[in-house]
Amino acid sequence: MESGSRSMHRLTATIIWPILFLFLIHAAHCFYLPGVAPEDFQKGDLLKVKVNKLTSIKTQLPYSYYSLHFCPPEKIVDSAENLGEVLRGDRIENSPYVFKMREPHMCTVLCRITLDAKTAKQFKEKIDDEYRVNMILDNLPLVVPIRRLDQDSSTVYQLGYHVGLKGQYSGSKEEKYFIHNHLAFTVKYHRDPQTDSARIVGFEVKPYSIKHEYEGKWNEKSRLTTCDPHNKRTVVNSNTPQEVEAKKEIIFTYDVEYQESDVKWASRWDAYLLMNDDQIHWFSIVNSLMIVLFLSGMVAMIMLRTLYRDISRYNELETQEEAQEETGWKLVHGDVFRPPSNSDLLCVYVGTGVQFLGMVLVTMIFAVFGFLSPSNRGGLMTAMLLLWVFMGIFAGYASARLYKMFKGAEWKKLAFRTACMFPGIVFAIFFVLNAIIWGQKSSGAVPFGTMFALVLMWFGISVPLVFVGGYVGFKKSAIEDPVKTNKIPRQIPEQAWYMNPTFSILIGGILPFGAVFIELFFILTSIWLNQFYYIFGFLFLVFIILLITCAEITIVLCYFQLCSEDYLWWWRSYLTSGSSALYLFLYATFYFFTKLEITRLVSGLLYFGYMLIASYSFFVLTGTIGFYACFWFTRLIYSSVKID
């Protein structure tokens, strides 16, 4: 009967695991659910073109579109933004561009301005810092198509167009600034032949710099000689570019062309999210899986061979003299569950880690199923903040359960520290960074109202939930230790150099970091180089591998530590896998100096400030995973031996 049951289990595992793996592979390609409902447009319907922030990968400081002297509409109206959009620095406003569905028009004059010294200087600064203008049409971002000749003439898309460019006239060495004052828009649409309605599936632009000319004195009816729809003359190059200088006039113009496309509305983001580097992601997965297999082999050897042999031998010992001759992990059974120093702080960090783990796990699941795709602007950050707030109940529960096991009594004080310590440190860093951004008059500065809303969510929802979780956790009966703890602590023998706490902790962080560092490159690129990150299926696989790696490396090093009769494993188990955060910060530093072109001190401070927050969060997450793995492991092995 038992053999039949085992066969059934093996058969079930044989069927389930391949199915699960195939599901994850399918999820790795990650479909998405669009962030807005589709909108049908009839011929001649007015299309709302909106402008978004100006962005630069050199400064990382966004600015609102109308901070430069672009052509404004009669009245500037802000669009309602969600919490994530505000935190990202998005400032979505209306524009003076007039588009009518499937009605192309050529060389429309937007406005004519004359630069003064101040506005000319502002334009030059933005051109120097390579700022890009971002626009939105029907929730699609404006892109500049660039044909790559090195990859089978494939087309890549860059978000937004440059404000302008720097160059020299032939025969001159003096560098001049030129503005992109003519925009050739292309709106792609998918038409329904039955209703003749259409849906927008693409929004592209080709920017030009051209010094427009006209006859006579300028008035509203003046016709341009450089760009005239009546004579079918349009802008095709920038041979006579428009300089940016004080007291020079600039005429802003645009064309709108409509192209019918076979791309359906549900697939309109596919071109934007075209993944040319999926082989690198698969390499990342295979690399991480090799690490997991190596660690799993070590854990299996320890658990199935060494531990089984040790437990059998210890349980067969007949006399006390024989037991005292033994060395290894059983000798410290009377001290292994002794509460550690700063046990309250450990409880706080474990509770915070549980809160963070819950937030990341649920966010990943939503992202894999496409609810947090790039089409839902700000959705990812909004979801993470809300989930963090509501996961407070698990933080309170986890910290209180551990606290009661350590014979703690003041659970309210612990709950308050759990609710405030990690968010307080992160908020303090964020507040300083926000003050720096505000000092630069950037749209990335979080407004006071949003800051107040964040504090309200923290103290109005998260803190009470942590207290609820703490109350429930503390009311439950304490976790019983599998062995009794001696009153007098045992002397820890002198340790070998390779068992030094600092050395083993630093070694422990290498493999978890090694499992994620390739995917980390793509995450940093999407954040700091203004690109989309959408391959959440790959990220979810890497996250699962990270969980396993953190757990296994901590168990292996904890076993070696106990075998050398060092029973101070509580904090070391947390720090072992948590030290991977140090390598994350070091990699972020390497990325800063090798991949980014940031030269401003303010921008550097922002980068390292935000990466410090990310590394601190990673420390809490990985440390908690390692701690619980070690906690389960020690309870398992010490409950398996007979203690006289």
Lowest mean pLDDT among 146-155, 170-179, 200-209, 569-578: 146-155
Pairwise CA distance, residues 488 & 484, whole Å: 12
CA distance 85 to 229: 39
Contact 417, 402 (CB under 8 A): no
Tell which residue, 69, 185, 201, has the closest CA to residue 139: 201
pLDDT at residue 610 tops 80: yes
- Best CA proximity match to 101, nearest among 12, 204, 188: 188
Q: What is the pLDDT of residue 187?
A: 92
Q: What is the mean pLDDT of residues 434-463?
A: 89
Q: How far apart are CA 316 and CA 313, in angstroms?
A: 5
Quote the pLDDT of residue 91. 84
pLDDT at 587 over 90: yes
pLDDT of residue 153: 54
pLDDT of residue 271: 72
Mean pLDDT of 562-576: 87
Q: How far apart are CA 407 and CA 403, in angstroms?
A: 7
Give the pLDDT confidence of 5-34 residue by residue, as tens digits. Answer: 333 333 333 333 333 333 343 434 343 444
619 pLDDT higher than 90: yes
* Separation CA 59–CA 586 (nearest Å): 21
Question: Tens digits of per-residue pLDDT, 384-405?
Answer: 999 999 999 999 999 999 999 8
List of residues 6+ apart from 501 with CB closer than 8 A: 568, 572
The predicted-structure confidence for 482-511, as pLDDT tens digits, reads as follows 878 777 777 777 777 777 888 889 988 888
Report d(CA 442, CA 436) in Å as an integer.
Answer: 9
Region of poorest pLDDT, from 61-75, 83-97, 253-267 = 83-97
Strand partners, 207: 183
- Using the structure block, give the residue that is written with the tokens 């309605």: 197
Tens of pLDDT, residues 185-227 = 999 999 888 888 899 998 999 999 888 888 778 777 778 878 8
Element (H, E) at 108: strand 105-114
Write down the pLDDT at residue 34: 43
Mean pLDDT of 63-73: 89
Question: What is the model's pLDDT at position 469?
Answer: 94
pLDDT value at residue 8: 35
C-alpha span between 177 and 125 (Å, rounded): 10
pLDDT at 279: 60
- The pLDDT score that the predictor gives to residue 456 is 92
Q: Which of 348, 352, 112 lies closest to 221, judged by CA?
A: 112
Q: Is the pLDDT of residue 551 over 60?
A: yes
What's the rounded mean pLDDT across residues 251-274? 84
Top-confidence range, 118-122, 240-244, 277-281: 118-122
CB 577 within 8 A of CB 509: yes
Residue-level pLDDT at 525 = 84
Model confidence pLDDT, tens digit, residues 278-324: 566 566 677 677 777 777 777 777 666 666 666 666 666 544 444 44
Provide the 10 A C-beta neighbour count for residue 73.
Answer: 14
pLDDT computed for residue 625 by the predictor: 95
For 275-297, the DSSP string reads: -S-HHHHHHHHHHHHHHHHHHHH
Of 39-48, 125-134, 531-540, the least confident: 531-540
Q: Does pLDDT of 86 surpass 50?
A: yes
Helix axes 411-439, 392-405, angle to 10 degrees: 140
Of the given ranges (46-55, 100-109, 211-220, 459-468), which has the lowest mean pLDDT? 211-220
Q: How many helices (H) and strands (E) does the chain have?
A: 18, 13
510: three-class secondary structure by DSSP: helix
The torsion angles phi and psi of 333, rounded to 5 degrees, stand at -60, -25
Report how far residue 65's alpha carbon sits from residue 74's, in angstroms, rounded to the nearest whole number.
Answer: 15
- The CA distances from residue 331 to 161, 254, 304, 419, 567, in Å, are 69, 81, 20, 38, 10
State mean pLDDT over 449-461: 90
pLDDT tens for each residue of 337-348: 888 888 899 999
How much is the pLDDT for 303? Answer: 65
> What's this model's pTM, rounded to 2 decimal places?
0.83
**Average pLDDT taken over every residue of the chain:** 81
Taking residues 535-561, what's their average pLDDT? Answer: 86
Residue 231's pLDDT is 64
Task: Please give the average per-residue pLDDT across 168-181, as a whole number.
Answer: 83
